[in-house]
A and B are shown apart, each in its own frame.
Chain A
Amino acid sequence: MVNHLSLGVLAAAGWAAGGLILLRTEVNAFGARTIHAPAAGDPAAGVRYAFTKAMSPGAKESVREHLPSYVAGMFYHAGIFTALCLLVAVLCGFTLPGPVHLLSRSLLALGAMGGLSLLLKRVFTKELRGLSHPDDFLANFLTTIFVALALAGPGTPWLLSAILLLLYVPLGKIRHCLFFFVARRHLGVFFGRRGVFPPGSHHVR
């Protein structure tokens, strides 16, 4: 059963990867913009900043003012990546050493709690509920279940949840696993060229 499910997971992963590649190809087909204005800063430095300090509470008011959501989101994503790593380990037949196993279980527990808290926030906060589409609830539900079931070990429910999650990746908002990096890179290049990222980097031509 597990072997069949493992094959199912692999097939779903292929679907997810293929779907993301297709999505990327589709947006690339919109073409690229040529930039003519001379830079006043370093786009590469802007990208580095965009992926690091620009996401920290010190540089981002939306984080400073919503620290519980920020922490929940961090735990949630740490749990997701941990669960994905565990999935790879299980498919490859690796057994985690004791301390790593303990750490992964902690991250999974925190991740599941983070995901659940964000789901509840979306359900019970009027403004956030108004902002949401069914996709938002479904994506969170599938992901949180995947992380939570990882705590129970590599059984059928977890592998089934992995299949469902991977199948959904290119269909809904989980596609941000790709477009987050694309958007943030653009943000870094945009503000980097203009000398806005990192702060104080503007120079006169």
Chain B
Amino acid sequence: MSAELEQKLDGLTQEDYARGLAVFRHHLKGAEASFLNACVRCGLCADSCHYHRAEPTLENVPARKLDQISAVFKAHFTTMGRVAPGLVGARRWDRGMVRAWVDAAFGRCSLCGRCSINCTIGIPMPTLFRAARRALGSMGLVPADLQASVENSLAHGNNMAIEREEWVETVEWMEEELQAETGDPEARIPLDKQGARCLFTVNPREAKFFPLSLQASAKVFWAAGESWTMASDGGWDLTNYALFTCEDDHAAAIVQNLADAMTRLGCEVLVIGECGHGYQSARWMGPEWLKQAFPFPVVSILELMDQYLDEGRIQVDPTKNPLPVTLHDPCNLVRHGGISEPQRRVLRKAVANLVEMAPNGIENYCCGGGGGQLAMSRYRNRRLKAGSVKAQQIQATGAKVVAAPCHNCIDQLGELNKEYQLKVQIKTVAELVAAALVTPLPAEVQP
């Protein structure tokens, strides 16, 4: 455990403990209370967790992590926990348990949900780890670097604190590159185009470190003749790290940026770029945080590309991607998002040789970077070790390219690439599609 955490634990007051417990209780509904009564501690979930696969210790068994949470639940909110705590494993909410919660909920879980589908009972464990994180957040125990990402989003409208001028300049630069690549001086990366059909959103990492993936998405839109735009100010960043700090008010404020941009620009469809947690945040959690359904559909760019190919709006030549490609399934997009097939249909058309990992789809392993792990430097070594499972999966495919429709996953896969000498290229699906595009003549593109 870090000195920073120990210092924070030392500083906790009785009021902090009481607040944490009250927030935990407030977050629980009947469903969660049922889950906390349901675990039979059969232990069959153990190897479903990439942390346990990589390091088979008791602390990495999902049921053990869950037990840390249910122990407190039992002690404070159940009769048997009060009457016979030793029998049922109830533990009072004290420094030791707070420490255990931090370690379990932040330090050993990427909220990937793989344990849920492998649980004998069927307990959706991330829901409970979220409740724990939220309680810890109310006690000021969210790791500082993860919290900083949220603060950036709240203060600057994006999690990397990119100023508007820098963002606009990046987009203009990419637009010039797009025009040079397509030979079409009319090719645009539109900003604030009123009444465009699609509002496209990206991960700020694209602007900062991976502008070519933004250019690739723009090229696909250009080839499809899509009516689209991006926002120049609030509403272009799809990320929402409050999904990981589990502070719903912050999450609501961040997702509101997207809803406001949709209204401001009069767009019809909110398009989420290649980002797992961004998709889950906007598509599934956003309406819950805002307590109302969006008046517009939220789709992934993967679904759009699938649609373009299906309708013949874009054509691709798979021989332009001759190297064997494998596909990584981001947990938030696939297991928690339901987007599993569109990217596969797209890649089967856009690359010459798609080699699936085993297992894949909703059974795929987390890369280790989910749940905000990439933003918690405290747990870096654990994250890289847990990622060894994904590294082995990739190696087993023999692929030279990993398609990863998520920029957080791309960051983690990049680190795994170095750590485990994978010698693979890591690309977004849009980059592979853009590379395979049979480029239409400029006159054929009708925005």
Residues in A lying within 8 Å of B, measured CB to CB: 23, 26-38, 40-41, 50, 54, 59-63, 65-66, 69-70, 73, 125, 127-128, 130-136, 138, 171-173, 175-176, 179-180, 182-184, 186-188, 190-191, 194-196, 199-200, 202, 204-205
Contacts and interface: CB of A to CB of B under 8 A. Distances in A.
B89 interface: yes
A186 B35 contact: yes
Contact of B33 (A26, A50, A62, A63): A26
Interface of B: 28-35, 37-48, 56, 58, 61, 63-64, 67, 78, 80, 84, 86-89, 116-124, 283-288, 290-293, 297, 299, 303, 334-341, 359, 361-363
B87 A27 contact: no
Given A37-B283, A131-B63, A28 B38 contact: no
A171 B41 CA distance: 16
Contacts of B41: 128, 131-133, 136, 173
19 contacts: A30-B28, A30-B30, A31-B30, A32-B30, A33-B31, A33-B288, A34-B291, A36-B293, A37-B284, A61-B47, A61-B118, A61-B359, A133-B41, A172-B87, A175-B37, A176-B121, A184-B121, A194-B338, A196-B335
Contacts of A29: 30
Contacts of A205: 297
A176 B38 contact: yes
A62 B29 contact: no
Contacts of A176: 37-40, 121
A155 to B, nearest CB: 29
B29 A204 contact: no
B340 A183 contact: no
Contacts of B37: 23, 27, 175-176, 179
A61 B67 CA distance: 22
A200 B237 CA distance: 29
B338 A41 contact: yes
Contact of A62 (B28, B48, B339): B48
Contacts of B30: 27-32
B61 A131 contact: yes
Contacts of A195: 338
Nearest to A139: B40
Contact of A194 (B39, B40, B58, B284): B284
Nearest to A127: B58
B63 to A, nearest CB: 6
Contact of A50 (B56, B89, B122, B363): B122
Contact of B44 (A37, A66, A200): A66
Contact of B48 (A61, A69, A186, A190): A61
A188 B283 CA distance: 19
Contacts of B67: 131
A139 B123 CA distance: 20
B297 A180 contact: no
B337 A135 contact: no
A90 B67 CA distance: 39
B303 A204 contact: yes
Contacts of B363: 61
Given A138-B87, A175-B37, A183-B34, A194 B336 contact: yes
Given A32-B29, A33-B288, A179-B37, 18 more contacts: A29-B30, A30-B28, A33-B31, A36-B288, A38-B287, A54-B122, A62-B44, A70-B44, A73-B42, A133-B89, A176-B40, A179-B38, A183-B122, A196-B336, A196-B338, A199-B340, A202-B339, A202-B340
A131 B52 CA distance: 14
B58 A131 contact: yes
A8 to B, nearest CB: 22
Nearest to B78: A26
Contact of B116 (A30, A125, A132, A187): A187
A127 B61 contact: yes
Contacts of A184: 121-122
Contacts of B56: 127
A202 B341 contact: yes
Nearest to A37: B287
A27 B89 contact: no
A113 B67 CA distance: 28
Contacts of B86: 134
B29 A33 contact: yes
Contacts of A37: 283-288, 293
B62 to A, nearest CB: 10
B361 A199 contact: yes
B87 A187 contact: no
B87 A182 contact: no
A171 to B, nearest CB: 6
A200 B48 CA distance: 22
B336 A35 contact: no
Contact of B42 (A41, A69, A138, A196): A69
B64 A131 contact: yes
A53 B285 CA distance: 27
Nearest to A69: B44
A34 B290 CA distance: 12
Nearest to A31: B29
Contact of B43 (A35, A54, A127, A191): A127
B93 to A, nearest CB: 18
Nearest to B60: A127
B31 A186 contact: yes
Nearest to A174: B40
Contacts of B84: 171
